[in-house]
């Protein structure tokens, strides 16, 4: 059999529970992203927050350094484009991403 188990059965937590809270935070969905990523033009942005609400991977969070705006997180964005489709002002656009730029400064923290 080519497939192998990941964890010896005795080491699984009771009922295969995950005893650590918030471990999904480490899940690097940004790794799934293809060759493009969304970029927000803050001149067009009306701070409605729809990108934040509709993003399935919490890749947008309130920008603490610029009130009302939302900060994009490269570590979680899987490049689905929902934010681009939902933005009522067409403020978000695709930008081409080079392989070496993929893990930019904004990482899951």
Partner 1 sequence: MARRVGLEVSLACAEAAKLANVDVVAAYPITPQTHIVEHLAELVADGHLDAEFVPVESEHSAISACVGSSAAGARTFTSSSSQGLALMHEILFIASAMRLPIVMAVANRALSGPLNIWNDHSDIMAERDIGWVQTFAENGQEVLDLMLHAFKVAEDKRVCLPVIVNMDGFLLTHVIEPLLMPEQAEVDAYLPPYQPQQRLDIAQPISMGMVGMPEVYTEAKKASLEALLGSYDVVKEHWAGFAKQFGRQYKPIESYRSEDAEVLFVTMGSLGETCMTAIDELREAGVKVGSVRIRLWRPFPVDDFLAAIQGAKGLIVMDRALSPGVPAGPVATELRGLLYAKGYHLPVQNFVAGLGGRDVTRADFRMMLDKARKAFAAGGEMTCEMVGVKE
DSSP annotation of 11: G
Candidates 18-26, 72-80, 85-93, 101-109; binding stretch for partner 1 (CB under 8 A): 18-26
Binding flags for partner 1, 21-60, as an x/- string (CB under 8 A): xxx-------------------------------------
Which of 21, 85 has the CB closer to partner 1?
21
Which of 9, 65 has the CB closer to partner 1?
9
Residue count of the chain: 109
Pairing of strands 60-62, 70-72: antiparallel
Task: Rounding to the nearest 10 degrees, give the CA dihedral for residues 33, 35, 38, 43.
Answer: 160
Residue 69, both tokens: 């705006």
Choice from 14, 85, 90, 105 touching partner 1 (CB under 8 A)? 14
């Amino acid at each position: 059999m080519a497939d192998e188990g990941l964890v010896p059965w005795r080491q699984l937590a009771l009922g295969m529970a995950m005893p650590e809270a918030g471990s999904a935070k480490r899940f690097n969905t940004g790794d799934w992203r293809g060759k493009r990523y969304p970029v927000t033009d803050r001149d067009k942005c009306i701070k409605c927050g729809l990108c934040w609400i509709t993003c399935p991977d919490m890749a947008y969070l309130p920008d603490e350094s610029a009130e009302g705006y939302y900060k994009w997180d490269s570590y979680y964005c899987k490049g689905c484009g929902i934010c681009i489709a939902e933005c009522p002002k067409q403020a978000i656009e695709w930008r081409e991403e080079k392989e070496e730029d993929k893990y930019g400064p904004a990482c899951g923290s």
